[in-house]
Amino acid sequence: MEVPAPIKQLFDQFPLVSYGPVAKNDNSLKNELQQRTYPFEGNNAIKSSPNDVLKLCVYNVITHEETKSILASDPWCLFIQLAICQKNSVRLCKAAPNNDLLIPNSSVQQNDSSYPLKHCMLVVSHHAATSSHLPMLIEGYQKRYIRQTHAISEIMDSKIADNPIEIMYMTLLDTVISDAYVSQLLFETPDHTLLRLYARNPPTSISLLQSSQLHNLKTLLRTRNNFHLRHIALANYIKPHHHLSPPSNHSNKDPLLHHLLQKSETVLLQFQELVQHHNLFSESDPLISKNSDSHHIRPAYLDLKLASYILAIQQLSGSSLQLFIAKNCKQLIRHSTRVLSLYT
């Protein structure tokens, strides 16, 4: 087909030009990722290739007042954060994001020997995970391995499979203490505190939109660690929007909450007694000794998980469980601080 003369004349005067590829540099995305990235510290945290980098995805972070370390705000996320420190011989993140930590987004940067690459913790939305639950581990870059919460849990369970005593204690933490923690989140914690701990961008005030976000978050948290299966009556007070409204008489839940609180207080006092009476640290003794030299000690995973729950509960300021720990579990608070000191 012949090209019409006017069009041919136009393109003869202004010929088409083939342009080369334009570098894809999204500075706004890079800056956003930098603000939400918290690198682990220490020589072992630095990697020569992005394929060796590990990213721990968490809901949000808090700053520990005494050690000034950045900690994951959720107890299970914090447990994995401490486990990464122990396994990889790295230290906890410092009190502010390291804006010099760049995100690998081009082959040039990947091949640049001066480009800083570190294991890090990344604050993401829970929607990033297929199960809508965090933590999530991202390993590698060119070939990525993404481990969801259930896969991480299976790995951690396998590490204590040969220690029935530690399994028993860990199960107590992941049922009795976890259920009390979730119940405090859902029914006692102020909305702004809940959003600060579990929302990536917590609002300064609760609008209608944030109210919907808050309800969706609570609906998700009720399924945390199968809370909704062990406590169906309490979980029914918080349902998805498309379900029927919860029972109108909210006073019915008070005895259930009190029962959970009493059970958790008993277990916490038992753990405190356990910490106080263990003077040696060995494979058969799962809790670190208060008299041991911290430079020659390797905490058990039970120590890490117990410390994670204590540190997380301390963030629920004014809740019944937080007040109980502050008044009656000072040894557990010292234990959690001591665990942190091993990685700072």
User: For the segment 36-88, what is each residue's pLDDT rounded down to a tens digit?
Assistant: 999 999 999 999 888 999 999 999 999 999 888 999 999 999 999 999 999 99
Strand locations in the chain (E): 37-39, 54-58, 61-63, 70-72, 120-123, 136-139, 145-147
Q: Return the pLDDT at 187.
A: 95
The predicted model gives 322-326 an average pLDDT of: 98
Query: Please, which pLDDT band fits residue 188 given cuts at 50, 70 and 90?
Result: very high
pLDDT tens-digit profile of 96-123? Answer: 544 444 444 444 344 444 345 899 999 9
Q: Return the pLDDT at 103.
A: 43
Mean pLDDT of the chain: 84
pLDDT tens-digit profile of 242-268? Answer: 454 555 555 588 999 999 999 999 999
Q: Give me the residue label for tokens 């040039």.
A: 108
Taking the model in full, what pTM does it have? 0.83
Q: Does domain 32-99+115-157 have CATH number 3.40.30?
A: yes
Give the separation between CA 168 and CA 15, rounded to whole angstroms: 77
Q: Return the pLDDT at 244.
A: 45
Q: Return the pLDDT at 104.
A: 44
The predicted model gives 121-149 an average pLDDT of: 93
Give the separation between CA 84 and CA 161, rounded to whole angstroms: 19
Query: Is the pLDDT score of 326 beyond 90?
Result: yes
> Worst-scoring range by mean pLDDT, 11-20, 78-87, 166-175, 328-337?
11-20
Give the separation between CA 279 and CA 291, rounded to whole angstroms: 7
Nearby residues of 77 by Cβ (< 8 Å), 6 or more positions away: 56, 58, 59, 134, 135
Nearby residues of 268 by Cβ (< 8 Å), 6 or more positions away: 177, 324, 325, 328, 329, 332
- Domain ranges for the chain, please list them: 32-99+115-157, 162-240+255-281+298-342
- Amino acid at residue number 275: V
| Nearest of 317, 187, 326, 196 to residue 260 by alpha carbon | 187
Give the separation between CA 169 and CA 307, rounded to whole angstroms: 13
Task: Copy the structure tokens of residue 84.
Answer: 């990464």
Q: How far is CA 48 from CA 108, 115, 119, 121, in A?
A: 14, 9, 11, 18
Q: Return the pLDDT at 109.
A: 44
The predicted model gives 141-149 an average pLDDT of: 92
The predicted model gives 165-185 an average pLDDT of: 96
Give the separation between CA 156 and CA 209, rounded to whole angstroms: 37
Residue with the larger pLDDT of the pair 23 and 146: 146
Which phi and psi (to 5°) does residue 117 adopt?
-130, 125
Give the separation between CA 262 and CA 330, rounded to whole angstroms: 18
Query: Please, which pLDDT band fits residue 203 given cuts at 50, 70 and 90?
Result: low
Peptide bond just before 135 cis, omega within 30 deg: yes
196, 105 Cβ separation under 8 angstroms: no
Query: Please, which pLDDT band fits residue 30 given cuts at 50, 70 and 90?
Result: confident
Query: Is the pLDDT score of 280 beyond 50?
Result: no
